[in-house]
Chain A
Amino acid sequence: MTDEIQATKEIYDSSKRPHPLIEEFLTLIKYRDLLYQFVSSSIKTRYKRSFLGVIWTLLNPLLMMVVLTLVFTNLFRFAIQYYPVYLLSGLILWNFFSSTTIQALQGMILSGGLLNRIYVPKSVFTFSALGTGLVNLTISLVPLFAITLFLGMKIHLSILIMPLAILLLAIFSLGIGLILAAAAVYFADMLPVYEVILTLWMYATPIIYPADILPADRVWLLKLNPMYYLLQVFRRPLYEGVVPGWGEWAIAASVALAVFIAGSLIFTSKINEYAYRT
């Protein structure tokens, strides 16, 4: 073995580490196959022992839609055309957001102390929550389009812009997920607290009701809700058949990026402490 070969060996020096944000980013790229493993195993284990398997992912939002459509069109008499499509597009989006962020919150804790046994990028649990969420979202787009066609609604070319809306939503969810993951390390009761927040947040977002039922003096509430903008750019291409304007995209993108940057900074600022606490 020559010195030249030895010199190429990877040197780790605890006193000369790059900024945690950069280090985390580089490690995550290096461990990308682990990310894939986490996503595929979480999907496999979800379906492996269940009889209906992947059908549940298709059926769940559909059943939810049937129930809510019955309740709201009969009880509250929303005069919305193609209400099931309006509802289902919102529900799918919300399911993605809530399941991704809840999984991110639980990820590091439920990893069974992996964090304090092996060196892994700490954000891999949050990213894999997102990966799993994206797979399930993609699957649940199938019933959404099926219902749309079934009800005889016209699908416009504008739906081709939906992946961009999903991308923004993913960035937003990742940001929230990183904040929750960091918080969950310090507070054991983070999940019940967050679940309450989620419920409130869902009703504050026009998912099951039309935005215009809000009284004029309450519309500002909607404008404060980042989820509203993300929902609009996702739903309008399908439900209204229009491509949202630049202004709408700009707001949605700024909100998503701002939350993601905040999440990344918060998460990495405490990154060396996680292994001490899980």
Chain B
Amino acid sequence: MHTAPERYDVQAILNEKYDVYMQGVSVLYRVPRERFSGIKEYAIRLLQRRLQYEDFWAVRDVSFQVRSGEAFGIIGRNGSGKSTMLKVIARVLMPTMGRVVTRGKVAPLLELGAGFHHELTGRENVFMNSTLLGRSQKETERLMPEIIEFAEIEDFIDAPLRTYSTGMIARLGFSVASALRPDILLVDEVLSVGDSHFQEKCLARMNSFRAMGTTIIIVSHNMNTIESFCDHALWIDHGQIKSIGNVREVVAQYTG
């Protein structure tokens, strides 16, 4: 059910109401076998024809599809390729082989606060982070009151970020990233930040997105989160699909 058909086109996605298609996706990292970091060394190695690379397939021949409006979990051990897969969906990494098709606005909720600047104020950082997500200055201005309110940092918004606690930064990060409902939300192990009150707020917001039709893909080590939130799940191991389907079955196989 979740493995993609052999051939498909964009029209099929529109007709069949899928939001994410992965077909035969592989991601290859080329790691130089011997460490060389500089031009000089590179030139020497090149002359000696000693430039050897280690090929590392982070994701190997992965095909699956995610239905519009569903919550889809990705589980697996550290380094199994979970985050790499999210990066392929988020267009950060171009797959070495295979094809990725997504429909709609993709919002990554990866590593909250990436791109935050500690000398700038909270407000300035909101502008920075929001435009990093592809929004315009104007749109951010419009969203600003809501972002500040959700993050619960009204009194500190014009103080430099270096005066913030880790929890406050995480709150601001989530608030900015989730200020607009995307069509596809990518969540990479971020629900572990902040206190339980804020975690609940985050979950509530994600649930409301889902109720409005957002497709959610979650990467997590927390099986409770996965089981309570997702409809379907994918277990990936060494870059390859181990199991895919109903969330309970997949989690049972993974933990069993």
Q: Which residues of A contact B (CB under 8 A)?
A: 1, 3, 6-7, 9-16, 30-31, 33-34, 36-38, 41, 44-45, 48-49, 111-120, 186-190, 193, 272, 275-276
For window 118-136 of chain B, which residues contact chain A by CB distance below 8 Å?
119-120, 124, 127-128, 131-136
Give chain B nearest CB distance to A11 CB in angstroms: 5
Given contacts A9-B183, A41-B120, A118-B133, contact A189 B101 (CB under 8 A): no
B42, closest chain A residue (CB): A187
Docked-complex contact B102 and A11, CB < 8 angstroms: yes
Residues in A neighbouring B87, C-beta threshold 8 A? 116-117, 275
Pick the residue among A3, A13, A31, A119 that contacts B14 (CB under 8 A).
Answer: A3
Give chain B nearest CB distance to A125 CB in angstroms: 12
Docked-complex contact A34 and B131, CB < 8 angstroms: yes
Residues in A neighbouring B166, C-beta threshold 8 A? none
Residues in B neighbouring A114, C-beta threshold 8 A? 114-115, 132
Known A-B contacts: A12-B91, A38-B128, A45-B120. Give 17 more (CB < 8 A): A6-B103, A7-B14, A9-B183, A10-B104, A12-B103, A14-B88, A30-B134, A37-B127, A44-B119, A112-B114, A117-B108, A118-B92, A118-B114, A187-B37, A189-B37, A189-B39, A276-B29
Q: Which residues of B contact A (CB under 8 A)?
A: 10, 13-14, 29-30, 37-40, 42, 87-88, 90-95, 98-106, 108, 110-111, 114-115, 117, 119-120, 124, 127-128, 131-137, 140, 183, 213
Docked-complex contact B39 and A117, CB < 8 angstroms: no
Pick the residue among A7, A112, A188, A189 that contacts B115 (CB under 8 A).
Answer: A112
26 contacts between A and B (CB under 8 A): A9-B105, A11-B101, A11-B103, A12-B100, A12-B101, A12-B106, A13-B10, A13-B101, A14-B100, A33-B140, A36-B137, A37-B127, A41-B120, A41-B124, A44-B124, A48-B119, A111-B115, A113-B114, A114-B114, A116-B93, A117-B87, A118-B90, A118-B132, A187-B42, A272-B94, A276-B93
In whole angstroms, how far apart are the Cα atoms of A119 and B114 in the complex?
12
Docked-complex contact B132 and A13, CB < 8 angstroms: no
Residues in A neighbouring B120, C-beta threshold 8 A? 41, 44-45
Residues in B neighbouring A14, C-beta threshold 8 A? 88, 91, 94-95, 98-101
| Count of A-B residue pairs with CB < 8 Å | 121
A6, closest chain B residue (CB): B14
In whole angstroms, how far apart are the Cα atoms of A187 and B39 in the complex?
6
Give chain A nearest CB distance to B7 CB in angstroms: 12
Q: Which 3 A-B pairs have the closest CB atoms?
A: A189-B38, A188-B37, A34-B131
Residues in B neighbouring A111, C-beta threshold 8 A? 115
Give chain A nearest CB distance to B166 CB in angstroms: 17
